[in-house]
Amino acid sequence: MTTINYTNYLTDIINKPGIISSAYSRFHKYSMLNQYLAYSQLNGRDDVEIGPIASYKAWQQLGRQVKKGSKAISLIMPVMIDKKDNQGNKTGEKQQIFIQRNNWFALSQTEGDNIAGDDVKTPEWNSEKALKELNITEIPFSMTDGNVQGFAQNDSIAINPVAALPHKTRFHEIAHVVLKHTKEHTMSDNEHTPRDIKEVEAESCAYILCQLLGLPGAESSRAYVQGWLGDRKEIPSQSAQRIFGAVDKILKAGQGA
């Protein structure tokens, strides 16, 4: 079973400004990581137009047939497998894992009944709705240090009224809460996330959200992430997976009426 390389995907997204916003505008109904995977695979092929995607079976249900010889793109999907103990024996329980499978085709790879055109209008994102959905309270900024852009504590965040990029700071602080960094004081010592990883995770979320929603701040975000990474060179795979999950949660919370 192939291991998903979350680190490589995150590095690519951070180092290629614009790719994730383009992906979001076309595939916003999918998870953020699958948006990126779909766009990056279709964008590099001359024989396929970037457009609606679906599985082989889903296209058949829509009255269309995948053209012979078409090459599927791969997305990440959850599957249930048998849980095993340390000796490799089945325990009788099931567990969910995520795998990457070649199972999706673009509209241009199919033929048959006409379907409605691709709606590229993306849903709007509202910060007040997101905070409400995530049960996060924005409180007045009370620190006297003007260099501090914002802070998060428990289920609350605060943004400096003179923050250079208040939207980016808000994303950063929301991410700290969603990633449960602010609750780690209730955990045992060995469950604490190192400070540098906390900052990398939160700012990576801010970077991606700014890119997805077409907001400024990407360059300063990238520099912030690199600064906190230091000698680590790259973001750990477990952190990358947590970042993708947090972005999806924050994005979904602020969408819709």
- 18-60 residue pLDDT tens: 889 889 988 988 999 999 999 999 997 888 988 899 999 999 9
Assign 188 a pLDDT band (cuts: 50, 70, 90).
very low
Q: What is the pLDDT of residue 192?
A: 75
Q: What is the pLDDT of residue 189?
A: 47
What average pLDDT does the chain have? 89
Q: What is the pLDDT of residue 206?
A: 96
**Tokens 């900024």 sit on residue:** 141
Across the range 238-257, mean pLDDT stands at 93
Across the range 144-150, mean pLDDT stands at 82
Q: Is the pLDDT of residue 122 over 80?
A: no
Contact between residue 157 and residue 138 where contact means Cβ atoms under 8 Å apart: yes
Assign 1 a pLDDT band (cuts: 50, 70, 90).
low
Cα separation, 202 vs 149, in Å, equals 14
Q: What is the pLDDT of residue 57?
A: 93
116 against 169, higher pLDDT: 169
Containing H/E element for 177? helix 166-178
> Residue 64 — left, alpha, or beta (φ > 0 → left; ψ -120 to 50 → alpha)?
beta
Q: What angle do CA 92, 97, 102 make, to 5 degrees?
A: 125
Across the range 220-246, mean pLDDT stands at 90
For the stretch 65-119, pLDDT in tens is 999 999 999 999 988 888 888 877 888 888 888 899 999 999 999 999 887 655 5
Q: What is the pLDDT of residue 250?
A: 98
DSSP-based three-state secondary structure for 241: helix
Q: What is the pLDDT of residue 86?
A: 83
Q: Is the pLDDT of residue 177 over 60?
A: yes
Q: What is the pLDDT of residue 117?
A: 56
112, β-bridge pairs = 64
What percent of the chain shows pLDDT beyond 90? 61
Across the range 211-239, mean pLDDT stands at 89
Q: What is the pLDDT of residue 102?
A: 94
145 against 250, higher pLDDT: 250
Q: What is the pLDDT of residue 2?
A: 60
